[in-house]
Chains A and B, each alone.
Chain A
């Protein structure tokens, strides 16, 4: 069974009086445990696609199925629960909660979304912070961290919920080149360790090479699909 499938997905937006066609009929199937990249220029529809897959938005037409569940008919409460159970998010601007420490940011979804008991929670967080190399920064606040460190915390926050799928929208856009590679490398490593599928959108051609499958998008359509033979071959 595929982890993700999109069938004839269209998404229109109203921009004032003008209808903008963000996605013009996407058909896509993703197997479990893949490391996938969507590339393309700004406005090509990458973020819109990720929003639909992440149950943050609904398609105008077509069907989005994630982990065997058709998600485009869910109400707000159900889709929130579905996201909490199945999908992790990594954002371009890290989106950590500024009033919480590194530890508390990773702890947040376990309390507010999954309601995990204290002992199990502590063990999971300690393990996750260790894996992303942030164990020694656990008591710092986001404002005390570098961009790369913040993104590591964001990765830990996404993975601590054991999601089937992690969506990352431009995860390296605010990082310098070396840090961007390290973050992508970490995501790749986590994908292997947790067998979690990663889908990230980027227009940074240099990090695209880490993906197993690269979908190129232009003007709301997938124009090219490329299996990357070098993917997973190491951090460049």
Chain B
């Protein structure tokens, strides 16, 4: 085998310019896959991290039918206290669950006594919410952003656009008016303790209050909540945990219907940004397919030319007794070496460029999200690229190599 590799290597160097051109093409392809893979993965991680850590959590649990009516923030599709306790015991028993946060979400009107506007309010326990969505308090740019106390009974965090539009400042009073599930209206005065950035775009109007205030404002007497956001220890185990929770929650039947009382959704099912993440994944796949095409066409072309140019030589080695299997191995090895070393060059080039991008720390705003790209070296992508190139090189070399090994020596020797 050593000698086959040696001869194949020499044959590659025989047409240095052609080998270098083909090699460069494959190397650039591999480098693009690595760079795109690294940056794409970093972008995805940033987007997912921003969304899940700021607002959504990794998984959410609601009463059956809530997500279908989520735009209206219905209070009548709520998780009752008994159900909540069952869900909490399930979450407490799950080692993959890092934290969870009970929420009451509702629509309300906020007034500065002169003007009134609508907003969405999420009522939370601040300590639990801060662990479940650790980036939430980073968005509070003015006022109290302490993760444990960012909302206290009587205080409210309002979004920057409402603060600006209604000229509200930290320490000002504002009245929150809401309709409870029975249709009665109630109003409570809050002191503004924080002003936050809008996560969901300029029209996002999301505020936070303490859950005790929501109970009082909405006159909730039976411990109901509308949502549980869940944070996992390891985001990569999302699908596994999601499936487990779904199975466990399916065992809790509704009071009347006998069907599952609760529904569980991953962040992907709740956020429109998940489609962007899917597009990035698709683009990475397309780049991989382009790489496959580049390698297939380049190696096939080079090896076919190589066989055609060396027909006489094939005749010579066949006539002196080289077995067809070794002729096959010679050409197959040639294609494999070309693919393997081109891929290595591409990996070095791509990794180098990615390290430069990582060192540069590209910051940009995507929607209302401030993203900072610091791509990691995508080890899996590198290994996958190497495997793709080697396998495709072998496949592309196979036909020319078979052709060479099946040549009749007498015909090949006649070839000029």
Q: Are A112 and B317 in contact (CB under 8 A)?
A: yes
**Residue numbers in A under 8 Å from B408 (CB-CB):** 56-57
Taking CB as reference atom, which chain B residue is nearest A110? B3
Q: Are A98 and B14 in contact (CB under 8 A)?
A: yes
User: Chain A residues in contact with chain B, CB under 8 A?
Assistant: 51, 54, 56-57, 76-77, 80-85, 87-89, 91, 93, 95, 97-100, 108-109, 111-114, 157-158, 161
Q: Are B323 and A157 in contact (CB under 8 A)?
A: no
Q: How far is the CA of A80 from the CA of B3 in the complex (A)?
A: 19
> Could you write out 18 A-B pairs with CB less than 8 Å apart?
A56-B409, A57-B408, A57-B410, A76-B406, A80-B324, A84-B323, A85-B321, A87-B321, A97-B313, A98-B14, A100-B10, A109-B320, A109-B321, A112-B3, A112-B4, A112-B322, A158-B320, A161-B320
**Residue numbers in B under 8 Å from A158 (CB-CB):** 320
Contacts A57-B410, A91-B316 given: A77-B324 contact, CB under 8 Å?
yes
In the complex, how many angstroms separate the beta carbon of B68 from the nearest chain A beta carbon? Answer: 70
Contact partner, B10, options A83, A88, A95, A99, Cβ 8 Å: A99
User: Chain B residues in contact with chain A, CB under 8 A?
Assistant: 3-4, 7, 10-11, 13-14, 312-313, 315-326, 406, 408-410, 413
Contacts between chains A and B (CB distance < 8 A), count = 77
Taking CB as reference atom, which chain B residue is nearest A83? B321
Contact partner, A99, options B7, B322, B406, Cβ 8 Å: B7
Contacts A56-B409, A99-B13 given: A83-B319 contact, CB under 8 Å?
yes
**Residue numbers in A under 8 Å from B312 (CB-CB):** 93, 95
**Residue numbers in A under 8 Å from B323 (CB-CB):** 77, 80-81, 84, 113
**Residue numbers in B under 8 Å from A108 (CB-CB):** 7, 317, 320
Q: Are A56 and B3 in contact (CB under 8 A)?
A: no
Q: Are A83 and B14 in contact (CB under 8 A)?
A: no
Q: Are B3 and A111 in contact (CB under 8 A)?
A: yes
**Residue numbers in B under 8 Å from A87 (CB-CB):** 321
In the complex, how many angstroms separate the beta carbon of A153 from the nearest chain B beta carbon? Answer: 13
Contacts A98-B14, A99-B14, A111-B3 given: A80-B410 contact, CB under 8 Å?
no
In the complex, how many angstroms separate the beta carbon of A55 from the nearest chain B beta carbon? Answer: 9
Q: How far is the CA of A77 from the CA of B325 in the complex (A)?
A: 9
**Residue numbers in B under 8 Å from A111 (CB-CB):** 3
**Residue numbers in A under 8 Å from B321 (CB-CB):** 80-85, 87, 109, 113-114, 161
Q: How far is the CA of A50 from the CA of B411 in the complex (A)?
A: 14
Taking CB as reference atom, which chain A residue is nearest B315? A95
Contact partner, A51, options B4, B13, B410, Cβ 8 Å: B410
Taking CB as reference atom, which chain B residue is nearest A107? B3
In the complex, besides A84-B320, A109-B322, A158-B320, 19 extra interface pairs with C-beta distance below 8 angstroms are: A51-B410, A57-B408, A76-B324, A77-B323, A80-B318, A84-B322, A84-B323, A89-B316, A89-B320, A93-B312, A95-B313, A97-B316, A99-B10, A108-B317, A108-B320, A112-B317, A112-B326, A113-B323, A157-B320
**Residue numbers in A under 8 Å from B11 (CB-CB):** 99
Contact partner, A83, options B13, B320, B324, Cβ 8 Å: B320
**Residue numbers in A under 8 Å from B7 (CB-CB):** 97, 99-100, 108
**Residue numbers in B under 8 Å from A88 (CB-CB):** 320
Q: How far is the CA of A87 from the CA of B325 in the complex (A)?
A: 20
**Residue numbers in B under 8 Å from A57 (CB-CB):** 408, 410
**Residue numbers in B under 8 Å from A112 (CB-CB):** 3-4, 317, 322, 326
In the complex, how many angstroms separate the beta carbon of A151 from the nearest chain B beta carbon? Answer: 14
In the complex, how many angstroms separate the beta carbon of B345 from the nearest chain A beta carbon? Answer: 22
Interface pairs A-B: 3 shortest CB-CB: A84-B321, A99-B10, A95-B316
**Residue numbers in B under 8 Å from A80 (CB-CB):** 318, 321-324
Taking CB as reference atom, which chain A residue is nearest B326? A112
Q: Are B10 and A56 in contact (CB under 8 A)?
A: no
**Residue numbers in A under 8 Å from B317 (CB-CB):** 97, 108, 112
Taking CB as reference atom, which chain B residue is nearest A78? B323
In the complex, how many angstroms separate the beta carbon of A20 from the nearest chain B beta carbon? Answer: 14
Q: How far is the CA of A81 from the CA of B322 in the complex (A)?
A: 8
- Counting chain A CB atoms within 10 Å of each CB, the highest count among B3, B11, B325 belongs to B3
Taking CB as reference atom, which chain B residue is nearest A113? B321
Taking CB as reference atom, which chain B residue is nearest A98? B14
Taking CB as reference atom, which chain A residue is nearest B322? A112
Q: How far is the CA of A112 from the CA of B333 in the complex (A)?
A: 14
**Residue numbers in B under 8 Å from A82 (CB-CB):** 321
Q: How far is the CA of A6 from the CA of B326 in the complex (A)?
A: 31
In the complex, how many angstroms separate the beta carbon of A69 from the nearest chain B beta carbon? Answer: 14
**Residue numbers in A under 8 Å from B318 (CB-CB):** 80
In the complex, how many angstroms separate the beta carbon of B174 from the nearest chain A beta carbon? Answer: 84
Q: How far is the CA of A79 from the CA of B409 in the complex (A)?
A: 11
Taking CB as reference atom, which chain B residue is nearest A101? B10
Taking CB as reference atom, which chain B residue is nearest A57? B410
In the complex, how many angstroms separate the beta carbon of A168 from the nearest chain B beta carbon? Answer: 12
Q: Are B14 and A56 in contact (CB under 8 A)?
A: no
Taking CB as reference atom, which chain B residue is nearest A99? B10
Contact partner, B319, options A56, A77, A98, Cβ 8 Å: A56
**Residue numbers in A under 8 Å from B410 (CB-CB):** 51, 56-57
Q: Are A89 and B319 in contact (CB under 8 A)?
A: yes
In the complex, how many angstroms separate the beta carbon of B329 from the nearest chain A beta carbon? Answer: 10
In the complex, how many angstroms separate the beta carbon of A89 from the nearest chain B beta carbon? Answer: 5
Contacts A97-B313, A99-B13 given: A113-B320 contact, CB under 8 Å?
yes
